[in-house]
Every structure is written in structure tokens, then in C-alpha cells.
């Protein structure tokens, strides 16, 4: 099955997958459609450069080998995505403490200035 049809059938939750399928159906080749859809969505959704690069690399290998190669490709990127998610959660936890303390400190400073 062509990759564009797979993306159309199973990618309804992510807007850039629909965009990619639209571009493939309009005549663009897979690599070009994937790269432009990821780039456009990365700008709109605020993906980090690392996340956008990982998506671009994933798309470059998607549909480029036999079944065993595709399974290995998916396993590799599933592991990379899990590691990136873990890292993002750790960063969120670190930064949330900072922002909370800034809010408390700002509130205390405002209270002192108003008194």
C-alpha cells in the first residue's frame, strides 16, 4: 500500500499527516510532501528543532524498505520518541518549579510595595 494512503487512513489525529497526504495526492513525492508538512506544522505548533528533525528523519525512512526494515525503523523511532518525551517531562517539571517560585516572589514583592 502506498505510504500516502496509509497516512490518510491512520493519521487523522495529527494535522500534518492530513496535510502530507493531501500533498501526495496532489502529485508531490513522499519525501517532499512529508518535509513540507512537518516544516509547516512545526512552525505553527511550536515544535522544538530537535522534534522537527526527528520527524523529518522518520519520514525519510518511512516506506523505504521491506517489512522487517520498517519494523526496525518504527522501533527505533518509538524509542527515540519515548526518550524525547521523558526529557520534555523532566524539563517541564524543572521549569514549573521555577515559574511557581517566580509567581510567589512577584506576589510577595507586590504585596510589600502596596503596604
3-class DSSP assignment, residue 41: helix
Average pLDDT value for the chain: 82
Tens digits of residue pLDDT in 49-66: 888 888 888 888 877 778
Residue 31's CB: how many other CB atoms inside 10 A?
14
C-alpha to C-alpha distance for 58 and 63, rounded to whole angstroms: 10
Confidence class for position 91, pLDDT limits 50, 70, 90 = confident
Instruction: Tell me which range, 29-43, 66-80, 101-115, is most confidently predicted by mean pLDDT.
Output: 66-80
pLDDT of residue 1: 67
Confidence class for position 83, pLDDT limits 50, 70, 90 = very high
pLDDT of residue 12: 67
Residues 6+ apart with CB under 8 A from 16: 37, 38, 40, 41
- Residue-range domain boundaries for the chain: 1-47
Whether the per-residue pLDDT at 82 is higher than 90: the answer is yes
Using a pLDDT cut of 70, give the percent of the chain over it.
97
pLDDT of residue 73: 87
CB-based contact 54:73 (threshold 8 Å): no
Residue 58's CB: how many other CB atoms inside 10 A?
18
Amino acid at each position: 500500500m502506498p505510504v500516502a494512503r496509509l497516512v490518510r487512513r491512520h493519521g487523522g489525529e495529527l494535522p500534518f499527516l492530513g496535510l502530507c497526504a493531501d500533498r501526495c495526492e496532489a502529485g508531490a513525492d513522499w519525501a517532499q510532501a512529508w518535509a513540507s508538512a512537518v516544516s509547516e506544522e512545526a512552525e505553527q505548533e511550536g515544535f522544538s528543532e530537535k522534534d522537527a528533525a526527528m520527524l523529518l528523519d522518520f519520514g525519510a525512512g518511512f516506506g523505504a524498505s521491506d517489512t522487517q526494515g520498517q519494523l526496525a525503523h518504527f522501533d527505533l523511532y518509538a524509542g527515540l520518541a519515548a526518550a524525547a518525551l521523558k526529557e520534555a517531562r523532566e524539563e517541564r517539571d524543572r521549569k514549573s518549579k521555577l515559574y511557581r517560585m517566580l509567581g510567589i516572589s512577584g506576589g510577595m514583592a507586590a504585596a510589600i510595595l502596596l503596604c
